[in-house]
Structure 1
């Protein structure tokens, strides 16, 4: 049988961005971060996912198998200790040499306060312009911004050079200049795609520092992923364009998404940490639902839906699902796009039915 041979030039072209060496052992905390890192590592390897699909990052208990993955990792990309202090504790205890890259501390990341109402605090009613909370642009110490090892030295990236390239910040954002992420920051920052565009070149920098032979591949993948996220942002804006109507969410996780695209919820059953609501909170939420012509109540697949069901029945609301972490999606490079697209599609479907 005739088997055509590729020319030498063709072989060189195919091999331009192929993996040249074994990649570092990389681990991530949640599916959204895993997806972004997987896009940058494509062709060289794949990251491990620490948090099991369908699990909440709030208050997770590390299992022995997960502890084993973390202890063997060389590089950890995660949202940060503000969301998962249990990871920070585990790093000190079982993975002191793992380089830690907390993404909330990357310079240029848009941070917002709120999302951490506890127990009986009032759910409130966000204004319709989508900017109902304070925002900050993180400007952090180099050690915080570029990651640090609990026992080893690593090359430091130039994050600020890439922050502008990755999309920049909006005019109304403010700067927190003390070098640290503030207590009370909403940790669901991956739901703003502009943050993803800022993180992607930083992810590539750290991978390149750990694996210089594949640096060209990581840089090319990062640029392609940034373009993909930009196109995703435009599509979501189109999906939500002209949409109106009130809704309630299960927990206060969507501020980054609604700050970017508008259409904030009338309230949330639980705060940003998904703690169980108190009686006062539920009573005020019911009043907010009546005042804001609420039509839909969104549950989440990783949480018990009984409270949501009872509230929806009492108020005569439609029930639908929003998934802020990708609990129902297969992990991998396509998850991030599917996650944000799913939120937009669910909002449109429930509010237009």
Structure 2
């Protein structure tokens, strides 16, 4: 269970949990880190509460991905000093690594609104890239050194520990996923492109359907045909998807259902949470693909 800090204590606020994991690794022992979005909330559609505004206004630092991801942030931040915010996708070192938001093999006739509001020009699921996480950690470290100059040595040590831990975790993941690189699968939410590219995974495409609406027969038939034609081993849903809907889609196929959680919902904020998060996604992939 996660105990979020009270308003007066939380000095660093991240929009979403995976950014909180990276931040906690660097800020551990220096400052409190708190996460704005509660578990299960979507950064695309979240509505801020008055208590969120109090948190943001009293923070030393606010860290977020960018306006294509947390669409609610720009209007909130307009009154907050620029020096107190980090918008990660605005940094040239990260911008240079952004993938295009064009989806591969997206079968999408179901819910235009659902498809449309999620994707800008670039793929903003940057926390699923260990490479970008490394750069983000450096950016956060540099900023925190300015805010807490008296903690420079500890921040330096934390960054060093994080980078070593991350490198070892990447090597570990590459070994683990080596055996499933040729196994094809589909996802419902194309969040994993950075992770997939780094570890050579075989994502065949995504089905954009609204998790709360039962797809029609035509849609079900199309998806089933696609699963069979492409020899998919697995289809991955996210925690908010109804298993009933997914089971309908795979009825009559040999496809297995897995679950992927791109926001690390049940991972506790600790110094090594980010690496645990990557390992959990790795295990979720293996559970279905092996």
Q: TM-score, normalised by structure 1?
A: 0.69
Q: Give the conservation status (yes or no) of the 8 Å contact 2:108–2:207.
A: no
Matches within 5 A, 1:138-287: 183-243=120-180, 244-270=182-208, 284-287=222-225
Q: Do residues 311 (structure 1) and 249 (structure 2) align?
A: yes
Q: Do residues 70 (structure 1) and 56 (structure 2) align?
A: yes
Q: 1:302 aligns with which of 237, 240, 251?
A: 240
Name the structure 1 match of 2:99. 112
Whole-angstrom distance in 2 between the partners of 1:34 and 1:229: 15
Q: CA RMSD in A?
A: 2.9
Superposed CA deviations along residues 159-199 of structure 1, whole A, max 9, x for unmatched, are xxxxxxxxxxxxxxxxxxxxxxx941011111110111111
Query: Which SS does the other structure have where 1:88 is aligned?
Result: helix
Q: Give the conservation status (yes or no) of the 8 Å contact 1:32–1:190.
A: yes
Query: Residues 274, 211 of structure 1: CA spacing in aligned structure 2 closer, same or farther, 3 A cutoff?
Result: farther
Whole-angstrom distance in 2 between the partners of 1:114 and 1:314: 32
Superposed CA deviations along residues 227-271 of structure 1, whole A, max 9, x for unmatched, are 111111101000101213221212111111101101132222228
Name the structure 2 match of 1:27. 13
Q: 2:66 aligns with which of 76, 80, 84?
A: 80
Query: Residues 274, 255 of structure 1: CA spacing in aligned structure 2 closer, same or farther, 3 A cutoff?
Result: farther
Q: Give the conservation status (yes or no) of the 8 Å contact 2:107–2:206.
A: no
Superposed CA deviations along residues 201-242 of structure 1, whole A, max 9, x for unmatched, are 111110111111112211221121111111111010001012
Aligned residues: 269
The unaligned stretches of length 5 or more in structure 1 are 1-22, 122-181
Whole-angstrom distance in 2 between the partners of 1:226 and 1:186: 24
Higher-helix-fraction structure? 2
Q: Do residues 334 (structure 1) and 277 (structure 2) align?
A: no
The unaligned stretches of length 5 or more in structure 2 are 1-8, 111-118
Q: Give the conservation status (yes or no) of the 8 Å contact 2:100–2:123.
A: yes
The higher radius of gyration belongs to: 1
Q: Give the conservation status (yes or no) of the 8 Å contact 2:227–2:255.
A: no
Between 1:64-73 and 1:200-209, the stretch displaced more is: 64-73
Whole-angstrom distance in 1 between the partners of 2:197 and 2:179: 16
Query: Residues 281, 264 of structure 1: CA spacing in aligned structure 2 closer, same or farther, 3 A cutoff?
Result: farther
Whole-angstrom distance in 1 between the partners of 2:280 and 2:39: 16
Between 1:190-199 and 1:262-271, the stretch displaced more is: 262-271
Query: Which SS does the other structure have where 1:32 is aligned?
Result: helix
Name the structure 2 match of 1:101. 86
Whole-angstrom distance in 2 between the partners of 1:228 and 1:255: 22
Query: Which SS does the other structure have where 2:188 is aligned?
Result: strand
Query: Which SS does the other structure have where 2:78 is aligned?
Result: helix
